Amino acid sequence: MQSSDALHITKPPPTRFDTHRLCIAPMLDWTDTHARFFLRLLSRHTRLYTEMVTTGAIFHGKRERLLSFNDTEHPIALQLGGSEPQELATCARIGEDYGYDEINLNVGCPSDRVQNGRFGACLMAEPQHVADCIAAMRDAVSIPVTVKSRIGIDHQEGYEPLANFVQTIAATGCDTFIVHARKAWLQGLSPKENREIPPLRYDFVHQLKQDFPQLNIVINGGIRRLDESLQQLEHVDGVMIGRAAYDNPFLLLEADRMIFGSTQPDPRPDEVMRQFLEYVEFQLKKGIELHAMTRHILGAFRGESGARAFRRHLSEYATQPDLHKENSADVLREALYYVGIKLGW
């Protein structure tokens, strides 16, 4: 849970862009519907994002599995990967039909696979083409279309390439830019290294807000605590956190109060887990594997007594091949016992 040391920080005054005040980043192999359901139990107002879904996957893959979500996940954004304007427009329309609150275009992923498909961070070299994609998507839907990018790629130097990129796309009417405050190196670094090695330049993102005050500027990269988020909100409209929410999801228990000014009591861990257990039991009856759900809560209770035993129990038993479906939820009950939460048998 968030340290009480942060509670003295004054919440900045609200802006007209409060919709993105705190967001959870789209993360491949993590932010699926089960993770998002769990995160929503922790914070009512934090904006959630899907994993990146490519246009090809929507056209040729299992669309229902890729795009369906639980109604409790709102507000939720669909992140698309692609580079063909009309394909993106069609997929944006499909996303709107599924009920998403926002369509986000990935212009920040640096992986080789993504580059080979001509989407992700490599598109930062083609701001006008990105603008064409955004214009087509905006014409196709009535919900907001947003962009997630880096501050630059490869040998682009300084702030000007980023400012030009944003200005070009903003001319389409797009007003929300989520910026990972690191450059992306398209050759020589893995996606993991691209999240860690390029230096953070928060000042570039802060400058965007100064130069484009009419835009909704959301900062991403290296922000791991709510007090850090509050400090960033003195300079920008929103904060997006990623790995921190995976490593320590209970930091979100205080988010509605600290970030959004809610006067409601913070969710209690035992109540969160009771609701998640009910969800698990329901999903098990639909044939979902226990591990597909419990893998998203391994970071819960971090730093608390019994947390290591909780993680070990789930890691060891939730993946057992001979686990009987009717008894699967008991594995979660047993794990919770290690952290002092006793739910009905």
C-alpha 47, offset from chain centre: 8
The encoded tokens of residue 344 equal 């009905």
Q: CA-CA distance, 125 to 113, in Å (whole number)?
A: 17
Q: Which residue(s) pair with 48 in the sheet? A: 76
Q: Are 237 and 217 in contact (CB under 8 A)?
A: yes
Query: What residues does CATH 1.20.120.1460 cover in the chain?
Result: 269-337
Predicted pLDDT of residue 10: 43
Predicted pLDDT of residue 85: 98
Q: CA-CA distance, 107 to 23, in Å (whole number)?
A: 17
CATH number for the domain whose boundaries are 4-9+16-258: 3.20.20.70
Neighbours of 187 (CB within 10 A): 8
Place of tokens 């091949």: 321
The pTM is what? 0.92
109 is catalytic: yes
pLDDT along the chain (345 residues), means of 10: 38 62 96 98 98 97 96 98 98 99 94 69 95 99 98 91 98 98 81 78 98 98 97 98 96 98 97 98 94 98 97 95 79 97 83
Per the residue annotation, which of 23, 91, 109, 122 is the catalytic one? 109
Neighbours of 172 (CB within 10 A): 19
Predicted pLDDT of residue 232: 99
Predicted pLDDT of residue 103: 99
Architecture of domain 269-337: Up-down Bundle (1.20)
Query: What residues does CATH 3.20.20.70 cover in the chain?
Result: 4-9+16-258
Residues ≥6 apart with Cβ < 8 Å to 106: 26, 52, 79, 80, 81, 114, 119, 120, 148
Residues ≥6 apart with Cβ < 8 Å to 343: 273, 274, 277, 333, 336
Predicted pLDDT of residue 9: 38
